[in-house]
Amino acid sequence: MLIGLLTAVAASICYGTGSVLQAVGSRKSARREAAGAGPATGQVTAHGGPSLSSTAQAAMTWEFIVGTVLDFVGFGLGAGAARLLPLFLSQTVISANLVVTAVLSVKLLGIRLTRAEWTSIAVVCSALVLLASAAGSEGSGHTPVTTHWWLLTIALLLMAGGTVLVRMLGARAAILAGLLSGLGFGALGVGVRVLNGIDPFALGTLLTDPALYAILVAGIGGMYLHTIALQIGSVNGATAALVVGETVLPGMIGVWWLGDASRPGFAWLAVTGFVLAVSGAVAVAWFGAPENAGKDVPAPTDTPTQNPELAPDRAS
């Protein structure tokens, strides 16, 4: 249990730091485009969202690259945590990267957190303590291979259909993109739990398990949609939407389908902690949403001492 918790916390730190660095890189790229040639043709879709080329250019900044490396490290650590802990605990602890994201945003994105946001962060941290105290053993994860095919099908539909929908909605799709990326990461966590060929290790079994490809589809699609969310919306709001998608459904699947359980007599505490953790994350998004209102094109004299590349506005 302790090793699993430490692994989940390390994954959370990696994901949270990576999110902020990716946001810095995305916004720096957008400002370079605007400074160089104004709103360049092909940089946004007809609906106001970032084009594929814009996303690719954002991915070439050093901040985004380092953030992506941290995401991959977090992925590995999160996969280990999903095998060692109940999903309602591992996914919720990992989703606490919102706390890391919010705190680092103060320094790197110039965002000022309100008292309500700090209170919400404290609620999330307290809820994680409750969850850790109430968590029992994780389920076996042994499921029929047909369910692995269902997981792959759902992952494909979510990521492909979600990408098309987000691009159609454009600049209005930040929260939706964050939510879909969270569902992708949640499907990834479920896939890691049910994956065959890990213990004991059997390469042939691993490579022929549809859950492996569900993990790849959900992971890559989730990272792409999260990048879109960071480009067009509030970093805290996008990450909070991700938290909801990453925790609620996977946690329920872990309990109802995979045999995850709380300690005997502590189910009420686990439910309380889970609800508070998700509610606290949503509160950070709610209170943090106005952070960028009216700051899309800040006047040069508004913040004379602030690095313009790190100003807390939204990239298009």
Q: Mean pLDDT score of the chain, rounded to an integer?
A: 76
Of the listed ranges 41-55, 126-140, 193-207, 241-255, the least confidently predicted one is: 41-55
Taking the C-alpha atoms of residue 49 and residue 174, their distance in angstroms, rounded to an integer, is 9
- Least Cα distance to 227 among 3, 51, 96 occurs for 51
124 has a pLDDT exceeding 90? no
Of the listed ranges 114-118, 232-236, 309-313, the least confidently predicted one is: 309-313
What was the pLDDT predicted at 68? 84
45 has a pLDDT exceeding 70? no
10 has a pLDDT exceeding 90? yes
What's the whole-number mean pLDDT along residues 290-306? Answer: 40
What was the pLDDT predicted at 99? 77
Q: How confident is the model at residue 294 (pLDDT cuts 50, 70, 90)?
A: very low
Taking the C-alpha atoms of residue 266 and residue 152, their distance in angstroms, rounded to an integer, is 34
| 20 neighbors 102 (Cβ within 8 angstroms) | no
Question: Tell me: the pLDDT tens digits for 160-191?
Answer: 988 888 888 776 777 788 889 889 988 988 98
Question: Tell me: the pLDDT tens digits for 74-121?
Answer: 888 988 888 888 888 888 888 777 778 778 877 777 777 788 878 888
What's the whole-number mean pLDDT along residues 267-276? Answer: 86
Q: How confident is the model at residue 7 (pLDDT cuts 50, 70, 90)?
A: very high
> pTM higher than 0.75, yes or no?
no
**Residue 178: which residues within 8 A CB-CB, separation 6 or more?**
225, 226, 229, 233, 237, 238, 239, 240, 241, 242, 245
Question: Tell me: the pLDDT tens digits for 13-28?
Answer: 998 888 788 777 766 7
